């Protein structure tokens, strides 16, 4: 459904993605795992065309996202939804208007139909009854659920999730994770989840992609990843501080930097 | 040392040119949506209302004190030449041609322009602009354009209000407090203020409204997505907006003389 070819994204001298090739399969939950700074969110922004690659391409079906006109890109975005790390609900609108926003913008549906659709989506994420609350009155978990309802309101083909469980307590994280899994399966939607939450990832993923320093170092089914003997995968999954993935990110040796300090 | 100095000047100049180009591109891309579907009229009205009503009190107070101070200072100066009867026209021309548009614009930047920058900057920080993009809503059309249109339309209205309150306050101080003849005050004002003076004031107000809208939206849109970045952008919007208004005022004044 979506695939990348030789994707490179540089920010100045920093290479966030280094010739990354991945494929997102239809109707599956694909989880992109990786530590902080591994390029997960950058990759998600490329997949959703929120950012353009330095080199390489992202294909949505048979269309190269970087080559699309803005009109065509906006048409394609009608098939996409996104749940941002900090929910990104529109501050000036209440829960109902946030969820209904895509329909108000892009459809001529009668308000009563929109109301029904919003009720259905809010019920799916357990937020029915909170329509009149403003985003500032919601907890992190509630805001994530409302953002999820908003992402699903137009029945997209694919929904992107950026760190859906970060900053949530274990129960809220569990609820959000279960929702992603259940709704994906029930609605035949494709989900792309970026996270560093190994437990949640292995629980819901059909396909796991592990990134390190902008490169794919492992991918496959959740079970295969969990049983991988690749020391980098083992270190990441078991959360060990020592291993091939270094603790320090400095490019120069520590003693050299210390010797350079002028006393 | 000298090479470094020239290097720094060169870099700053290039950065400024690049920024000017970026402002022009962003504002022209936003304005290109003005005639396109979907029509953003509802959002224009909402923004004009927020700007106009929100700035009404500060503009009224500034207009009143400007008129009062002008009458006091004008009377002091004109009395030296025995020309107190000219006070009405002096106050009116100063307010209508110059102080109304300039002070109105500066007040708008402080009251509403800074909040436009902060609002858009916070939308950038919290991902709301990206969220709009993902919902196939162009932030330039939905967020930037209505705010530029609002300042463009609201400032001439606010300046007209400033002028009226300033003239009334000047009359109260000149006639009621300083004892200038009411007939002479009003007669001189009506005789000396010509339609082209009103025209010059409104042209300035429209130009300043456009400048305030473009600069404040640009600074917010391009704000670094951090809390510090938004604070910096807000300060820059006020400084750049104020300087631009004063510089353009000089050019327009020389044109209308």
- What are the extents of the domains in chain B? 39-256
Residue A117's SS3 state is: helix
Q: What is the pLDDT of residues A175-198, one digit of tens each?
A: 888 888 888 888 888 999 998 888
Mean pLDDT of B92-101: 95
Cα distance between residue B43 and residue A100, in whole Å: 17
Q: What is the pLDDT of residue A229?
A: 84
Best mutation target among A11, A60, A82 (most B Cβ atoms within 10 Å) is A82
| Domain locations in chain A as residue ranges | 2-79+156-260
A4 bridge partner residues:
A58
ipTM: 0.87
Q: Which residues of A touch B128 (CB under 8 A)?
A: 88-91
Q: Kindly report the nearest CA distance between residue B110 and chain A, in angstroms.
A: 22
Give which of A50, A65, A78, A108 to mutate to test B binding, by max B Cβ within 10 Å: A50
Instruction: Name which of B33, B42, B118, B131 to mutate to probe chain A: the one with the most chain A Cβ atoms within 10 A of its Cβ.
Output: B131
Chain-chain contact of A77 with B134 (C-beta, under 8 angstroms) = yes
Which CATH number describes the domain made up of A2-79+156-260? 3.40.50.300
Task: Provide the pLDDT for residue B42.
Answer: 82
Judged by CB atoms closer than 8 Å, whether chains meet at B128 and A90 is answered as: yes
**What are the DSSP calls for B161-228, one per residue?**
HHHHHHHHHHHIIIIIIT---HHHHHHHHHHH--HHHHHHHHHHHHHHHHHHHHHHHHHHHT--SSHH
Q: Which of A70, A87, A102 has the CB atom closest to B135's CB atom?
A: A102
For A11-53, the pLDDT digits (tens) are 988 888 889 899 999 889 999 998 888 888 999 999 999 999 9
Tell me if A86 and B135 make a contact (CB, 8 A cut-off).
Answer: no
- Stretch B107-120: mean pLDDT: 95
Write down the pLDDT at residue A248.
62
Inter-chain residue contact B134 with A74, CB threshold 8 Å: no
- As a whole number, mean pLDDT of residues A122-132 equals 91
Residues of A in contact with B123 (CB under 8 A): 91
**φ, ψ dihedrals at A205, nearest 5°:** -80, 140
pLDDT at B100 over 80: yes
| Interchain proximity A84–B38, CB inside 8 Å | no
How close is the nearest chain B Cα to the Cα of A27, in Å? 20
C-alpha distances out from residue B84 to B173, B185, B192, Å: 13, 9, 15
Interchain proximity A50–B128, CB inside 8 Å: no
Tell me if B136 and A50 make a contact (CB, 8 A cut-off): no
How far is Cα A194 from Cα A165, in angstroms, rounded to an integer?
10
Inspect the interface and report whether the beta carbons of A77 and B136 lie closer than 8 Å.
yes
Q: Which residues of B touch A (CB under 8 A)?
A: 38, 122-123, 126-128, 130-138
């Amino acid at each position: 459904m979506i695939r990348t070819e030789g994707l490179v994204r540089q920010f100045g001298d920093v290479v966030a993605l280094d010739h990354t090739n991945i494929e997102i399969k239809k109707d599956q939950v694909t989880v992109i795992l990786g530590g902080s700074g591994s390029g997960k969110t950058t990759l998600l922004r490329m997949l959703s065309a929120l950012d353009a690659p330095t080199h390489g391409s992202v294909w949505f079906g048979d269309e190269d996202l970087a080559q699309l006109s803005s009109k065509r890109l906006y048409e394609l975005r009608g098939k996409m939804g996104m749940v941002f790390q900090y929910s990104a609900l529109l501050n000036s609108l209440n829960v109902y208007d946030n969820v209904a926003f895509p329909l108000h913008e892009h459809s001529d549906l009668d308000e009563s139909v929109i109301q029904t659709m919003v009720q259905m989506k809010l019920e799916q994420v357990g937020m029915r009854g909170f329509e009149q609350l403003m985003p500032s009155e919601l907890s992190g978990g509630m805001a994530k659920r409302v953002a999820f309802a908003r992402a699903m309101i137009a029945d997209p083909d694919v929904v992107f999730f950026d760190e859906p469980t970060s900053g949530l307590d274990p129960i809220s994280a569990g609820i959000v994770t279960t929702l992603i899994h259940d709704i994906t399966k029930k609605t035949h939607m494709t989900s792309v989840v970026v996270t560093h939450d190994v437990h949640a990832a292995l629980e819901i993923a059909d396909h796991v992609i592990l990134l390190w320093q902008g490169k794919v170092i492992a991918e496959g089914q959740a079970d295969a990843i969990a049983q991988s003997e690749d020391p980098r995968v083992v270190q990441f999954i078991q959360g060990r501080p020592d291993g091939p993935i270094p603790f320090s990110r400095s490019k120069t040796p520590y003693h050299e930097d210390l010797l350079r300090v002028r006393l | 040392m000298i090479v470094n100095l020239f290097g720094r000047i060169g870099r700053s100049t290039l950065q400024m040119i690049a920024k000017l180009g970026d402002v022009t591109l962003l504002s022209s891309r936003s304005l290109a949506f003005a005639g396109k579907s979907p029509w953003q009229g509802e959002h224009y009205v909402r923004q004009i209302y927020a700007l106009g009503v929100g700035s009404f009190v500060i503009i009224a107070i500034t207009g009143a004190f400007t008129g009062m101070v002008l009458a006091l200072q004008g009377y002091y100066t004109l009395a030296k030449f025995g020309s107190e009867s000219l006070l009405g026209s002096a106050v009116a021309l100063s307010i209508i041609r110059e102080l109304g548009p300039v002070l109105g614009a500066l007040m708008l930047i402080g009251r509403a322009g800074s909040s436009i920058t902060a609002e858009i900057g916070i939308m950038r920080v919290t991902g709301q602009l990206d969220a709009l993009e993902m919902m196939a809503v162009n932030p330039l059309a939905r967020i930037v354009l209505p705010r530029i249109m609002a300042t463009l339309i609201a400032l001439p209205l606010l300046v007209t209000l400033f002028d009226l309150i300033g003239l009334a306050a000047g009359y109260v101080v000149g006639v009621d407090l300083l004892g200038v003849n009411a007939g002479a005050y009003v007669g001189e004002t009506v005789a000396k203020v010509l339609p082209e003076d009103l025209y010059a004031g409104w042209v300035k107000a429209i130009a300043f409204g456009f400048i305030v809208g473009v600069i404040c939206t640009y600074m917010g849109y391009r704000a670094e997505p951090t809390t510090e970045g938004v604070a910096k952008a807000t300060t820059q919007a006020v400084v750049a907006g104020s300087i631009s208004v004063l510089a353009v005022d000089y050019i327009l004044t020389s044109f209308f003389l």
